[in-house]
A = this chain, B = another copy of it.
Protein backbone atom coordinates (compact mmCIF):
# COMPACT_ATOMS: atom_id res chain seq x y z
CA UNK A 1 0.00 0.00 0.00
CA UNK A 2 1.22 3.46 -0.86
CA UNK A 3 -0.29 6.72 0.28
CA UNK A 4 0.04 9.36 -2.43
CA UNK A 5 -0.15 12.98 -1.27
CA UNK A 6 0.11 16.20 -3.15
CA UNK A 7 -0.57 19.84 -2.34
CA UNK A 8 -2.80 20.94 -5.19
CA UNK A 9 -5.19 23.80 -4.35
CA UNK A 10 -5.33 25.04 -7.95
CA UNK A 11 -6.78 22.20 -10.06
CA UNK A 12 -10.38 21.09 -10.10
CA UNK A 13 -9.48 17.41 -10.00
CA UNK A 14 -6.44 15.33 -9.23
CA UNK A 15 -6.05 11.59 -9.63
CA UNK A 16 -3.07 9.31 -9.31
CA UNK A 17 -2.32 7.04 -12.26
CA UNK A 18 -0.46 3.93 -11.17
CA UNK A 19 -0.41 0.33 -12.37
CA UNK A 20 -2.60 1.20 -15.32
CA UNK A 21 -5.39 2.64 -13.18
CA UNK A 22 -6.52 6.11 -12.22
CA UNK A 23 -7.45 6.65 -8.60
CA UNK A 24 -9.17 9.93 -7.72
CA UNK A 25 -7.47 11.79 -4.92
CA UNK A 26 -9.59 13.09 -2.05
CA UNK A 27 -9.33 16.64 -0.77
CA UNK A 28 -7.67 16.95 2.63
CA UNK A 29 -6.74 19.99 4.74
CA UNK A 30 -5.59 23.25 3.12
CA UNK A 31 -5.34 22.12 -0.46
CA UNK A 32 -3.78 18.70 0.03
CA UNK A 33 -5.09 15.67 -1.88
CA UNK A 34 -4.63 12.11 -0.77
CA UNK A 35 -5.16 8.63 -2.17
CA UNK A 36 -4.22 5.28 -0.72
CA UNK A 37 -3.51 2.64 -3.34
CA UNK A 38 -3.35 -0.95 -2.19
CA UNK A 39 -1.50 -2.34 -5.15
CA UNK A 40 1.24 0.33 -5.35
CA UNK A 41 4.64 0.02 -3.71
CA UNK A 42 8.33 0.92 -4.03
CA UNK A 43 9.57 0.73 -7.60
CA UNK A 44 6.19 1.53 -9.12
CA UNK A 45 5.87 4.40 -11.54
CA UNK A 46 3.00 6.90 -11.22
CA UNK A 47 1.73 10.25 -12.38
CA UNK A 48 -0.68 12.79 -10.97
CA UNK A 49 -3.48 13.50 -13.38
CA UNK A 50 -4.22 17.19 -12.96
CA UNK A 51 -7.44 18.29 -14.61
CA UNK A 52 -6.86 15.48 -17.09
CA UNK A 53 -3.13 15.99 -17.71
CA UNK A 54 -0.71 13.36 -16.38
CA UNK A 55 2.15 15.22 -14.67
CA UNK A 56 5.10 14.29 -12.46
CA UNK A 57 4.73 14.52 -8.69
CA UNK A 58 6.17 17.91 -7.57
CA UNK A 59 7.83 15.98 -4.74
CA UNK A 60 8.85 13.03 -6.89
CA UNK A 61 11.83 11.23 -5.38
CA UNK A 62 12.87 9.75 -8.70
CA UNK A 63 12.25 10.63 -12.36
CA UNK A 64 13.79 7.66 -14.18
CA UNK A 65 12.75 9.05 -17.59
CA UNK A 66 13.43 12.73 -16.99
CA UNK A 67 11.43 15.82 -16.12
CA UNK A 68 8.40 14.97 -18.26
CA UNK A 69 8.24 11.28 -17.36
CA UNK A 70 6.56 9.34 -14.59
CA UNK A 71 7.59 9.52 -10.96
CA UNK A 72 8.73 6.44 -9.10
CA UNK A 73 7.91 5.36 -5.56
CA UNK A 74 11.08 5.10 -3.46
CA UNK A 75 11.40 3.57 -0.01
CA UNK A 76 14.15 5.54 1.68
CA UNK A 77 14.17 3.17 4.64
CA UNK A 78 15.29 0.30 2.44
CA UNK A 79 18.80 1.58 1.80
CA UNK A 80 21.52 -0.39 3.64
CA UNK A 81 23.43 2.48 5.24
CA UNK A 82 26.82 1.61 6.74
CA UNK A 83 27.77 5.04 8.13
CA UNK A 84 26.59 4.40 11.68
CA UNK A 85 29.65 5.91 13.36
CA UNK A 86 29.63 9.06 11.24
CA UNK A 87 30.00 12.19 13.37
CA UNK A 88 29.15 14.80 10.77
CA UNK A 89 30.79 17.88 9.33
CA UNK A 90 32.68 20.34 11.53
CA UNK A 91 32.69 23.29 9.18
CA UNK A 92 35.23 25.62 10.86
CA UNK A 93 38.05 23.09 10.55
CA UNK A 94 37.16 21.82 7.08
CA UNK A 95 38.30 22.50 3.54
CA UNK A 96 35.48 22.14 0.99
CA UNK A 97 35.72 20.79 -2.54
CA UNK A 98 33.13 21.76 -5.13
CA UNK A 99 32.26 18.88 -7.42
CA UNK A 100 30.06 18.54 -10.49
CA UNK A 101 29.04 14.91 -10.82
CA UNK A 102 28.62 15.03 -14.58
CA UNK A 103 32.13 16.23 -15.40
CA UNK A 104 34.13 14.93 -12.45
CA UNK A 105 34.61 11.53 -14.10
CA UNK A 106 34.24 10.17 -17.62
CA UNK A 107 31.14 8.25 -16.53
CA UNK A 108 29.51 11.30 -14.96
CA UNK A 109 27.69 9.35 -12.25
CA UNK A 110 27.49 9.31 -8.47
CA UNK A 111 29.08 5.89 -8.29
CA UNK A 112 31.98 6.86 -10.54
CA UNK A 113 32.93 9.51 -7.97
CA UNK A 114 33.63 6.83 -5.36
CA UNK A 115 37.00 5.60 -6.73
CA UNK A 116 38.21 9.20 -6.76
CA UNK A 117 37.40 9.85 -3.12
CA UNK A 118 40.83 8.74 -1.91
CA UNK A 119 42.36 11.50 -4.03
CA UNK A 120 40.14 14.01 -2.27
CA UNK A 121 40.83 12.59 1.17
CA UNK A 122 44.58 12.60 0.57
CA UNK A 123 44.34 16.23 -0.46
CA UNK A 124 43.08 16.96 3.04
CA UNK A 125 39.57 17.99 2.10
CA UNK A 126 36.84 17.58 4.72
CA UNK A 127 33.72 17.80 2.57
CA UNK A 128 32.69 17.63 -1.02
CA UNK A 129 30.04 20.07 -2.18
CA UNK A 130 27.92 18.70 -5.02
CA UNK A 131 26.48 21.03 -7.61
CA UNK A 132 22.67 20.63 -7.66
CA UNK A 133 21.54 17.09 -8.44
CA UNK A 134 17.75 17.59 -8.59
CA UNK A 135 16.28 16.37 -11.87
CA UNK A 136 16.70 18.94 -14.62
CA UNK A 137 15.84 18.78 -18.31
CA UNK A 138 18.09 16.50 -20.38
CA UNK A 139 21.09 14.47 -19.38
CA UNK A 140 23.72 17.15 -18.78
CA UNK A 141 23.75 20.55 -17.13
CA UNK A 142 25.13 22.44 -14.18
CA UNK A 143 21.99 21.64 -12.22
CA UNK A 144 20.63 25.12 -11.50
CA UNK A 145 17.64 24.56 -13.76
CA UNK A 146 16.25 21.71 -11.68
CA UNK A 147 12.49 21.20 -11.57
CA UNK A 148 12.07 17.96 -9.60
CA UNK A 149 13.91 19.14 -6.55
CA UNK A 150 13.37 15.93 -4.56
CA UNK A 151 14.70 13.59 -7.29
CA UNK A 152 18.45 12.94 -7.74
CA UNK A 153 19.07 13.13 -11.47
CA UNK A 154 18.49 9.87 -13.32
CA UNK A 155 21.59 10.34 -15.48
CA UNK A 156 23.69 10.58 -12.31
CA UNK A 157 22.25 7.34 -10.93
CA UNK A 158 19.11 8.41 -9.08
CA UNK A 159 18.43 8.01 -5.36
CA UNK A 160 20.42 4.83 -4.79
CA UNK A 161 23.46 6.18 -6.60
CA UNK A 162 23.50 9.27 -4.42
CA UNK A 163 23.06 7.28 -1.23
CA UNK A 164 25.95 4.99 -2.19
CA UNK A 165 28.16 8.02 -2.78
CA UNK A 166 27.25 9.61 0.55
CA UNK A 167 27.79 6.31 2.35
CA UNK A 168 31.19 5.88 0.69
CA UNK A 169 32.17 9.45 1.64
CA UNK A 170 31.22 8.99 5.25
CA UNK A 171 33.13 5.71 5.27
CA UNK A 172 36.25 7.76 4.38
CA UNK A 173 35.58 10.53 6.87
CA UNK A 174 34.40 12.86 4.17
CA UNK A 175 31.26 14.95 4.58
CA UNK A 176 28.84 15.79 1.79
CA UNK A 177 27.36 19.22 1.20
CA UNK A 178 24.80 19.65 -1.55
CA UNK A 179 23.88 22.70 -3.57
CA UNK A 180 20.14 23.39 -3.60
CA UNK A 181 18.25 26.02 -5.56
CA UNK A 182 15.36 27.62 -3.69
CA UNK A 183 15.16 30.90 -5.62
CA UNK A 184 13.73 29.69 -8.94
CA UNK A 185 12.94 26.59 -10.98
CA UNK A 186 14.19 25.67 -14.40
CA UNK A 187 12.20 26.62 -17.50
CA UNK A 188 11.60 23.10 -18.75
CA UNK A 189 9.48 20.53 -16.90
CA UNK A 190 8.30 23.06 -14.33
CA UNK A 191 4.68 22.07 -13.73
CA UNK A 192 4.36 23.57 -10.27
CA UNK A 193 1.87 26.26 -11.25
CA UNK A 194 -0.55 23.56 -12.33
CA UNK A 195 -0.70 22.43 -8.71
CA UNK A 196 -0.72 25.64 -6.68
CA UNK A 197 0.35 29.28 -6.36
CA UNK A 198 4.07 28.56 -6.13
CA UNK A 199 4.88 31.80 -7.95
CA UNK A 200 3.91 35.45 -7.50
CA UNK A 201 4.05 38.46 -9.78
CA UNK A 202 4.61 40.81 -6.84
CA UNK A 203 8.36 40.39 -7.24
CA UNK A 204 10.41 39.88 -10.37
CA UNK A 205 13.64 37.89 -10.55
CA UNK A 206 16.16 37.34 -13.36
CA UNK A 207 14.19 34.15 -14.06
CA UNK A 208 10.73 35.77 -14.15
CA UNK A 209 8.05 35.61 -11.45
CA UNK A 210 9.44 35.07 -7.98
CA UNK A 211 8.54 32.14 -5.77
CA UNK A 212 5.60 32.94 -3.50
CA UNK A 213 7.19 32.90 -0.06
CA UNK A 214 5.02 35.53 1.60
CA UNK A 215 1.67 35.79 -0.19
CA UNK A 216 -1.58 33.89 0.15
CA UNK A 217 -1.07 30.12 0.38
CA UNK A 218 2.66 30.58 0.86
CA UNK A 219 2.84 28.28 3.90
CA UNK A 220 2.87 25.20 1.69
CA UNK A 221 5.27 26.77 -0.80
CA UNK A 222 7.67 27.31 2.07
CA UNK A 223 7.10 23.74 3.25
CA UNK A 224 7.90 22.47 -0.27
CA UNK A 225 11.40 23.90 -0.04
CA UNK A 226 12.02 23.33 3.65
CA UNK A 227 10.84 19.73 3.44
CA UNK A 228 13.20 19.31 0.50
CA UNK A 229 16.10 20.48 2.65
CA UNK A 230 15.07 18.20 5.47
CA UNK A 231 14.79 15.24 3.09
CA UNK A 232 18.37 15.53 1.90
CA UNK A 233 19.68 15.87 5.43
CA UNK A 234 17.53 13.07 6.83
CA UNK A 235 16.99 10.52 4.07
CA UNK A 236 20.27 10.95 2.18
CA UNK A 237 22.47 11.63 5.23
CA UNK A 238 23.68 14.84 3.60
CA UNK A 239 25.75 16.94 6.02
CA UNK A 240 25.00 20.38 4.75
CA UNK A 241 23.28 22.43 2.09
CA UNK A 242 24.59 25.26 -0.02
CA UNK A 243 21.66 27.54 -0.83
CA UNK A 244 21.92 29.10 -4.24
CA UNK A 245 21.50 32.88 -4.63
CA UNK A 246 19.48 33.61 -1.52
CA UNK A 247 19.36 37.29 -2.50
CA UNK A 248 16.78 36.27 -5.10
CA UNK A 249 14.48 34.91 -2.38
CA UNK A 250 12.18 37.84 -1.62
CA UNK A 251 10.32 37.28 1.62
CA UNK A 252 8.97 40.17 3.67
CA UNK A 253 7.18 38.02 6.22
CA UNK A 254 8.07 38.25 9.89
CA UNK A 255 10.13 35.07 9.75
CA UNK A 256 12.32 34.92 6.66
CA UNK A 257 12.35 31.58 4.85
CA UNK A 258 16.04 31.13 5.68
CA UNK A 259 15.43 31.71 9.36
CA UNK A 260 12.57 29.21 9.38
CA UNK A 261 14.81 26.73 7.59
CA UNK A 262 17.64 27.24 10.08
CA UNK A 263 15.25 26.63 12.96
CA UNK A 264 13.90 23.41 11.50
CA UNK A 265 17.37 22.16 10.57
CA UNK A 266 18.49 22.82 14.15
CA UNK A 267 15.69 20.58 15.39
CA UNK A 268 16.61 17.86 12.91
CA UNK A 269 20.27 18.12 13.90
CA UNK A 270 19.39 17.43 17.52
CA UNK A 271 17.32 14.48 16.36
CA UNK A 272 19.98 12.86 14.14
CA UNK A 273 22.77 13.67 16.59
CA UNK A 274 25.24 15.33 14.23
CA UNK A 275 25.90 18.85 12.97
CA UNK A 276 23.87 19.92 9.94
CA UNK A 277 25.27 22.88 8.08
CA UNK A 278 23.61 25.62 6.03
CA UNK A 279 25.73 27.70 3.69
CA UNK A 280 24.22 30.53 1.68
CA UNK A 281 25.30 32.11 -1.53
CA UNK A 282 24.39 35.73 -0.91
CA UNK A 283 25.08 38.83 -2.94
CA UNK A 284 23.79 41.13 -0.21
CA UNK A 285 26.93 41.60 1.91
CA UNK A 286 24.47 41.53 4.77
CA UNK A 287 25.74 40.11 8.07
CA UNK A 288 22.15 39.26 8.92
CA UNK A 289 22.44 36.18 6.71
CA UNK A 290 25.00 34.52 8.97
CA UNK A 291 24.14 36.23 12.26
CA UNK A 292 22.55 33.95 14.85
CA UNK A 293 18.79 33.91 14.96
CA UNK A 294 18.86 35.13 18.57
CA UNK A 295 20.68 38.22 17.30
CA UNK A 296 18.11 38.97 14.63
CA UNK A 297 19.95 36.96 11.99
CA UNK A 298 18.84 34.22 9.64
CA UNK A 299 21.19 31.72 11.31
CA UNK A 300 23.05 30.43 8.26
CA UNK A 301 26.28 28.73 9.37
CA UNK A 302 28.25 30.40 6.62
CA UNK A 303 28.02 32.18 3.30
CA UNK A 304 30.19 32.39 0.23
CA UNK A 305 32.54 35.36 0.14
CA UNK A 306 32.48 36.63 -3.41
CA UNK A 307 34.16 39.88 -2.38
CA UNK A 308 37.25 37.95 -1.28
CA UNK A 309 37.23 36.06 -4.57
CA UNK A 310 36.81 39.19 -6.63
CA UNK A 311 39.51 41.08 -4.74
CA UNK A 312 41.93 38.18 -5.09
CA UNK A 313 41.08 37.49 -8.72
CA UNK A 314 41.40 41.14 -9.70
CA UNK A 315 44.71 41.47 -7.87
CA UNK A 316 46.14 38.34 -9.52
CA UNK A 317 44.80 38.89 -13.05
CA UNK A 318 44.45 42.65 -13.31
CA UNK A 319 40.97 42.17 -14.82
CA UNK A 320 38.68 45.20 -14.64
CA UNK A 321 35.59 44.31 -16.65
CA UNK A 322 32.11 43.51 -15.30
CA UNK A 323 31.97 43.32 -11.52
CA UNK A 324 35.76 43.36 -11.31
CA UNK A 325 35.53 47.12 -11.86
CA UNK A 326 34.78 47.33 -8.13
CA UNK A 327 38.04 45.56 -7.33
CA UNK A 328 41.75 45.74 -8.00
CA UNK A 329 44.60 46.67 -5.77
CA UNK A 330 45.98 44.80 -2.82
CA UNK A 331 44.15 46.95 -0.27
CA UNK A 332 40.93 45.20 -1.29
CA UNK A 333 42.53 41.82 -0.59
CA UNK A 334 43.64 43.17 2.77
CA UNK A 335 40.12 44.38 3.60
CA UNK A 336 38.62 41.06 2.57
CA UNK A 337 41.12 39.20 4.77
CA UNK A 338 39.98 41.24 7.77
CA UNK A 339 36.19 41.39 7.29
CA UNK A 340 35.22 39.28 4.26
CA UNK A 341 33.14 42.10 2.78
CA UNK A 342 35.17 44.62 0.80
CA UNK A 343 31.93 46.58 0.37
CA UNK A 344 30.54 47.05 3.84
CA UNK A 345 28.58 50.27 3.60
CA UNK A 346 30.76 51.66 0.81
CA UNK A 347 29.82 53.03 -2.58
CA UNK A 348 30.14 50.40 -5.31
CA UNK A 349 30.74 51.90 -8.76
CA UNK A 350 29.53 48.69 -10.42
CA UNK A 351 26.28 48.59 -8.46
CA UNK A 352 25.95 52.37 -8.51
CA UNK A 353 24.94 52.44 -4.86
CA UNK A 354 26.19 51.92 -1.34
CA UNK A 355 26.55 48.21 -0.75
CA UNK A 356 26.80 45.96 2.29
CA UNK A 357 27.40 46.38 5.95
CA UNK A 358 30.26 45.68 8.36
CA UNK A 359 30.05 42.12 9.70
CA UNK A 360 30.80 43.19 13.27
CA UNK A 361 31.38 40.27 15.62
CA UNK A 362 31.09 37.66 12.87
CA UNK A 363 33.91 35.12 12.64
CA UNK A 364 35.87 34.09 9.57
CA UNK A 365 34.29 30.63 9.82
CA UNK A 366 31.07 32.19 8.62
CA UNK A 367 32.57 32.75 5.18
CA UNK A 368 33.84 30.45 2.48
CA UNK A 369 36.99 31.67 0.73
CA UNK A 370 37.99 30.54 -2.74
CA UNK A 371 40.13 31.47 -5.71
CA UNK A 372 37.58 30.03 -8.10
CA UNK A 373 34.25 28.19 -8.16
CA UNK A 374 31.88 26.85 -10.80
CA UNK A 375 30.35 30.29 -11.34
CA UNK A 376 33.54 32.30 -11.51
CA UNK A 377 34.99 29.84 -13.99
CA UNK A 378 31.91 28.81 -15.92
CA UNK A 379 30.33 32.21 -16.28
CA UNK A 380 33.32 33.36 -18.32
CA UNK A 381 32.78 33.14 -22.07
CA UNK A 382 34.98 30.06 -22.52
CA UNK A 383 35.08 28.80 -18.92
CA UNK A 384 38.71 29.53 -18.12
CA UNK A 385 40.03 28.43 -14.78
CA UNK A 386 42.51 30.54 -12.83
CA UNK A 387 45.22 28.25 -14.20
CA UNK A 388 44.36 29.49 -17.70
CA UNK A 389 44.57 33.11 -16.66
CA UNK A 390 47.71 33.39 -14.58
CA UNK A 391 51.21 32.03 -14.13
CA UNK A 392 51.87 28.99 -11.98
CA UNK A 393 53.60 31.33 -9.59
CA UNK A 394 50.49 33.45 -9.15
CA UNK A 395 48.33 30.35 -8.89
CA UNK A 396 50.45 29.28 -5.96
CA UNK A 397 50.15 32.70 -4.37
CA UNK A 398 46.37 32.50 -4.76
CA UNK A 399 46.25 29.01 -3.26
CA UNK A 400 48.33 30.10 -0.27
CA UNK A 401 46.10 33.12 0.38
CA UNK A 402 42.95 30.99 0.20
CA UNK A 403 44.17 27.98 2.15
CA UNK A 404 45.81 30.00 4.92
CA UNK A 405 42.95 32.52 5.17
CA UNK A 406 40.59 33.03 8.13
CA UNK A 407 37.80 31.64 5.94
CA UNK A 408 36.66 28.08 5.34
CA UNK A 409 38.58 27.41 2.12
CA UNK A 410 36.90 25.87 -0.88
CA UNK A 411 38.47 24.38 -4.01
CA UNK A 412 36.76 23.74 -7.34
CA UNK A 413 37.24 20.28 -8.80
CA UNK A 414 40.64 19.98 -10.49
CA UNK A 415 41.85 23.29 -9.07
CA UNK A 416 44.28 21.35 -6.89
CA UNK A 417 46.22 20.24 -9.94
CA UNK A 418 45.51 23.18 -12.25
CA UNK A 419 43.30 21.05 -14.47
CA UNK A 420 43.65 21.85 -18.15
CA UNK A 421 39.96 21.33 -18.88
CA UNK A 422 37.78 24.43 -18.76
CA UNK A 423 34.39 24.44 -17.03
CA UNK A 424 32.03 25.80 -19.63
CA UNK A 425 28.34 26.56 -19.54
CA UNK A 426 26.48 23.53 -20.88
CA UNK A 427 22.83 22.56 -21.09
CA UNK A 428 20.75 19.85 -22.68
CA UNK A 429 17.31 21.37 -23.00
CA UNK A 430 15.04 18.85 -24.68
CA UNK A 431 12.82 21.62 -25.98
CA UNK A 432 14.62 22.65 -29.19
CA UNK A 433 13.28 26.21 -29.16
CA UNK A 434 14.39 26.74 -25.58
CA UNK A 435 17.79 25.27 -26.43
CA UNK A 436 18.13 27.70 -29.32
CA UNK A 437 17.22 30.65 -27.09
CA UNK A 438 19.78 29.59 -24.49
CA UNK A 439 22.52 29.24 -27.11
CA UNK A 440 21.70 32.61 -28.65
CA UNK A 441 21.36 34.32 -25.30
CA UNK A 442 24.80 33.12 -24.31
CA UNK A 443 26.35 34.47 -27.50
CA UNK A 444 24.57 37.77 -27.17
CA UNK A 445 25.64 38.14 -23.53
CA UNK A 446 29.30 37.87 -24.42
CA UNK A 447 29.06 39.92 -27.58
CA UNK A 448 28.75 42.92 -25.28
CA UNK A 449 32.16 42.01 -23.86
CA UNK A 450 33.64 41.90 -27.39
CA UNK A 451 33.40 38.16 -28.07
CA UNK A 452 32.70 36.86 -31.56
CA UNK A 453 29.69 34.48 -31.66
CA UNK A 454 31.75 31.61 -33.05
CA UNK A 455 34.22 31.85 -30.16
CA UNK A 456 31.55 31.35 -27.49
CA UNK A 457 30.90 27.63 -26.95
CA UNK A 458 27.34 26.52 -27.66
CA UNK A 459 25.80 25.45 -24.33
CA UNK A 460 23.62 22.87 -26.06
CA UNK A 461 26.53 21.17 -27.86
CA UNK A 462 27.68 17.86 -26.41
CA UNK A 463 31.29 18.91 -27.00
CA UNK A 464 30.90 21.82 -24.62
CA UNK A 465 30.02 19.37 -21.88
CA UNK A 466 32.71 16.91 -22.92
CA UNK A 467 35.36 19.63 -22.96
CA UNK A 468 34.53 20.45 -19.37
CA UNK A 469 35.26 16.95 -18.09
CA UNK A 470 38.32 16.50 -15.88
CA UNK A 471 41.28 14.67 -17.41
CA UNK A 472 42.54 12.47 -14.61
CA UNK A 473 45.49 11.25 -16.67
CA UNK A 474 47.19 14.62 -16.32
CA UNK A 475 47.31 14.58 -12.54
CA UNK A 476 50.71 12.88 -12.34
CA UNK A 477 52.29 15.08 -15.00
CA UNK A 478 53.96 18.46 -14.55
CA UNK A 479 53.08 21.16 -13.84
CA UNK A 480 50.01 19.46 -12.36
CA UNK A 481 51.85 17.20 -9.94
CA UNK A 482 53.74 20.10 -8.37
CA UNK A 483 50.58 22.16 -8.05
CA UNK A 484 48.83 19.25 -6.38
CA UNK A 485 51.74 18.87 -3.95
CA UNK A 486 51.56 22.61 -3.22
CA UNK A 487 47.87 22.42 -2.36
CA UNK A 488 48.44 19.35 -0.18
CA UNK A 489 51.25 21.07 1.68
CA UNK A 490 49.15 24.16 2.33
CA UNK A 491 46.22 22.12 3.61
CA UNK A 492 48.61 20.08 5.77
CA UNK A 493 49.90 23.30 7.28
CA UNK A 494 46.36 24.61 7.81
CA UNK A 495 45.49 21.44 9.67
CA UNK A 496 48.62 21.46 11.83
CA UNK A 497 48.70 25.11 13.04
CA UNK A 498 45.66 25.79 15.26
CA UNK A 499 45.54 29.53 14.62
CA UNK A 500 44.97 28.94 10.91
CA UNK A 501 41.51 27.59 11.56
CA UNK A 502 40.62 29.91 14.45
CA UNK A 503 38.45 32.09 12.20
CA UNK A 504 39.65 35.25 13.94
CA UNK A 505 39.58 38.40 11.88
CA UNK A 506 41.01 40.56 14.65
CA UNK A 507 44.39 38.82 14.68
CA UNK A 508 44.90 39.21 10.93
CA UNK A 509 47.44 41.87 9.98
CA UNK A 510 48.06 42.78 6.37
CA UNK A 511 50.83 44.89 4.94
CA UNK A 512 50.64 45.68 1.25
CA UNK A 513 52.03 48.01 -1.39
CA UNK A 514 50.67 47.96 -4.93
CA UNK A 515 53.68 49.88 -6.17
CA UNK A 516 56.08 47.01 -5.59
CA UNK A 517 53.51 44.20 -5.41
CA UNK A 518 54.07 43.41 -1.75
CA UNK A 519 51.35 41.57 0.14
CA UNK A 520 52.13 40.18 3.58
CA UNK A 521 49.39 38.50 5.57
CA UNK A 522 50.19 37.73 9.18
CA UNK A 523 48.09 35.30 11.21
CA UNK A 524 50.47 34.68 14.10
CA UNK A 525 52.54 32.56 14.20
CA UNK A 526 52.15 32.26 10.40
CA UNK A 527 53.25 34.87 7.88
CA UNK A 528 52.30 34.57 4.20
CA UNK A 529 54.63 36.82 2.21
CA UNK A 530 53.77 37.35 -1.46
CA UNK A 531 55.57 39.16 -4.25
CA UNK A 532 53.21 40.16 -7.04
CA UNK A 533 55.59 42.75 -8.42
CA UNK A 534 57.90 42.56 -11.43
CA UNK A 535 61.14 42.56 -9.46
CA UNK A 536 62.65 40.65 -6.57
CA UNK A 537 61.33 41.67 -3.17
CA UNK A 538 63.36 41.62 0.06
CA UNK A 539 61.48 41.71 3.35
CA UNK A 540 62.57 41.48 6.97
CA UNK A 541 61.70 37.98 8.18
CA UNK A 542 61.51 36.45 11.59
CA UNK A 543 61.05 32.70 11.79
CA UNK A 544 61.36 29.52 9.83
CA UNK A 545 60.58 29.23 6.09
CA UNK A 546 58.12 26.31 6.04
CA UNK A 547 56.72 26.60 2.52
CA UNK A 548 58.17 28.20 -0.60
CA UNK A 549 56.39 28.34 -3.95
CA UNK A 550 59.65 28.03 -5.86
CA UNK A 551 63.36 27.46 -5.38
CA UNK A 552 64.21 31.15 -5.67
CA UNK A 553 62.36 31.88 -2.45
CA UNK A 554 64.91 31.89 0.36
CA UNK A 555 65.80 33.29 3.74
CA UNK A 556 68.95 35.35 3.62
CA UNK A 557 69.73 35.82 7.32
CA UNK A 558 66.89 38.04 8.59
CA UNK A 559 65.74 38.84 5.05
CA UNK A 560 63.18 36.97 2.98
CA UNK A 561 64.00 37.03 -0.71
CA UNK A 562 61.01 36.65 -3.00
CA UNK A 563 61.34 36.45 -6.80
CA UNK A 564 58.44 37.85 -8.85
CA UNK A 565 55.19 35.86 -8.55
CA UNK A 566 56.27 33.88 -5.52
CA UNK A 567 55.10 33.26 -1.99
CA UNK A 568 56.76 32.18 1.22
CA UNK A 569 55.17 30.89 4.38
CA UNK A 570 57.09 31.66 7.53
CA UNK A 571 56.43 30.18 10.96
CA UNK A 572 57.56 32.34 13.89
CA UNK A 573 59.35 31.00 16.96
Contact = CB atoms under 8 A, between A and B. Distances in A.
A224 to B, nearest CB: 14
Given A202-B203, A247-B252, A252-B250, A353 B284 contact: no
Contacts of A284: 252-254
Q: Which of A247, A250, A296, A353 has the most CB of B within 10 A?
A: A353
B285 A296 contact: no
A367 to B, nearest CB: 15
B219 A254 contact: no
Interface string A210-222: 0000111111000
SS class, residues of chain A in contact with chain B: loop
Nearest to A351: B216
A249 to B, nearest CB: 9
Nearest to A352: B216
Interface in A51-80: none
Contact of A353 (B215, B250, B355): B215
Nearest to A347: B219
A345 interface: yes
A356 B217 CA distance: 15
Contact of A201 (B204, B254, B354, B356): B204
A360 B150 CA distance: 36
A297 interface: yes
A291 interface: yes
Contacts of A285: 254
A250 to B, nearest CB: 7
B216 A254 contact: no
Nearest to A197: B352
Interface centre among A204, A253, A288, A291 (most CB of B within 10 A): A253
Interface string A343-367: 0010100011111110000000000
Nearest to A205: B202
A285 B214 CA distance: 13
A215 B286 CA distance: 15
A409 interface: no
A469 to B, nearest CB: 38
A1 interface: no
A286 B255 CA distance: 8
Contacts of A219: 347, 353-354
A287 interface: yes
A258 B295 CA distance: 18
A345 B255 CA distance: 8
A284 B253 CA distance: 6
A431 to B, nearest CB: 27
A262 to B, nearest CB: 14
Interface string A246-264: 0100101111000000000
A31 to B, nearest CB: 10
Interface in A239-282: 247, 250, 252-255
A285 B253 CA distance: 8
Nearest to A284: B254
Interface string A184-219: 000000000000000001111000000000111111
A355 B254 CA distance: 7
A252 B202 CA distance: 14
Contacts of A255: 345, 357
8 contacts: A202-B204, A219-B354, A247-B252, A253-B353, A255-B357, A295-B296, A296-B296, A296-B297
Interface of A: 201-204, 214-219, 247, 250, 252-255, 284-288, 291, 295-297, 345, 347, 351-357
Ordered nearest first, which 3 A-B pairs have the shortest CB separation? Answer: A296-B296, A254-B357, A254-B286
